[in-house]
Amino acid sequence: MSGIRTNAAAELLGVSPNTLRSWERRFGYPKPRRTSGGHRQYDLTELEALRRALLETHNISSAIEVARQRGEGPTSAARLVEAYDRFDETLADRVMEESLAVRSVERSVEDLMLPALEMAQGREGREAEFELALRWATGWLHAARRVTPAATRSEGVLLFDSSPRLDLESLHVQALELALRRGGFRVLLLSMTLAQERLSRAMRALDPTALVVCGSGATLDVVGRLVYAVRHTGSAARVYEYREAMPVSGSHAIPSLGSRPTEATQNMKAIVDGRAIEVTEELAATDLAPATPARAHA
């Protein structure tokens, strides 16, 4: 079994040897074995599990609990963040490939990619690393979309992304698009700010069963114009929201598909298969007047 001495183990974890020994006494982890000469020898897999857990939790007791549950944790979100911080797209690809060996595409995106992006967001001085992460994740999702089998369902879903730029929320929208495609739907992802005449052509081409408001930049005016334009085409497609994209706090007439790609895909299947109870109130622009003050968006 591979192992390293105390000083090297402490350096790997970014702490002093005394701190490492105090963790052993207090928590019993990481637990070294003793050589014939009485020297501590730390297991590399335990150290790596603890290092990644510390990156996620920033708390030793929580990190030890996570590390013990995961074992070596080869495909943790923290390892993806490490790849971003190194500007190492090859390592990021490898982490996802390792995940795909034990998880589905959907679970790899939900349990690994999106949590890693959330961990990488908002760190002062790490803006370049986060932009790299967003662009790499966009490329990965596009590549996965290209190899998705042809649609097996007749229903179409038109996603309207209100994100004003490439950001974490826009990645959630792309992940939803991939999940819906893998769920067998015909899917089209467009900007919410499209002119009405261009929207009409898209509506005719897809003939969607459902429209989904997504992203972080929706306003009541934009959503109202969108619903009006949709109804102007003669479409009876239902309108939904994803991840609380509606800029209204409190109740409104647009039902939610949920907050995770697989959840939204399962809900959409249930809706079109007649297995879900929908909001039956007819949607129109007047339905979108906020009952409470509009929610602010970044």
Edge-to-edge order in the sheet of strand 238-241: 186-191, 156-161, 210-214, 238-241
CATH of 3-70, one of 1.20.1440.230, 1.20.58.1610, 1.10.1660.10, 2.60.40.2250: 1.10.1660.10
pLDDT in tens, the chain (298 residues): 457 899 999 998 999 999 999 999 998 888 888 887 788 988 877 787 888 888 888 899 988 888 876 654 456 787 899 899 999 999 999 889 988 887 899 999 998 999 999 999 998 999 999 999 999 999 999 999 999 999 999 999 999 999 988 999 999 999 999 999 999 999 999 998 888 778 888 899 999 999 999 998 888 888 888 888 888 888 989 999 999 888 765 556 788 999 999 999 999 999 999 876 444 333 333 344 333 333 333 3
Q: What is the pLDDT of residue 298?
A: 33
Q: What is the pLDDT of residue 230?
A: 86
Instruction: Specify the CATH class of 149-288 in words.
Output: alpha beta
Q: How many CA atoms lie within 13 A of 120 on its CB side?
A: 31
Cα dihedral 264→151→204→201 (10° resolution): 80
> What is this structure's pTM?
0.70
Q: What is the pLDDT of residue 179?
A: 97
Q: What is the residue-wise DSSP string for 42-104? A: EEHHHHHHHHHHHHHH--HHHHHHHHHHHTT-TT-HHHHHHHHHTT-HHHHHHHHHHHHTTS-
Token output for 81? 């963040």
Alpha-helical segments (H) within 147-195: 168-182
Long-range CB pairs of 192-201 (<8 Å, 24+ gap) are 192/160, 192/161, 192/162, 192/217, 192/218, 192/222, 192/223, 192/226, 193/162, 193/222, 196/225, 196/229, 196/232, 199/226, 199/229, 199/230, 199/233, 200/229, 200/232, 200/233
Q: How far apart are CA 273 and CA 278, in angstroms?
A: 12
The one-character DSSP state at 276 is: S
End-to-end CA distance of the chain: 50
- Residue 268's nearest CA partner among 241, 249, 244, 246 is 241
Q: What is the pLDDT of residue 167?
A: 93
Q: What is the pLDDT of residue 75?
A: 66
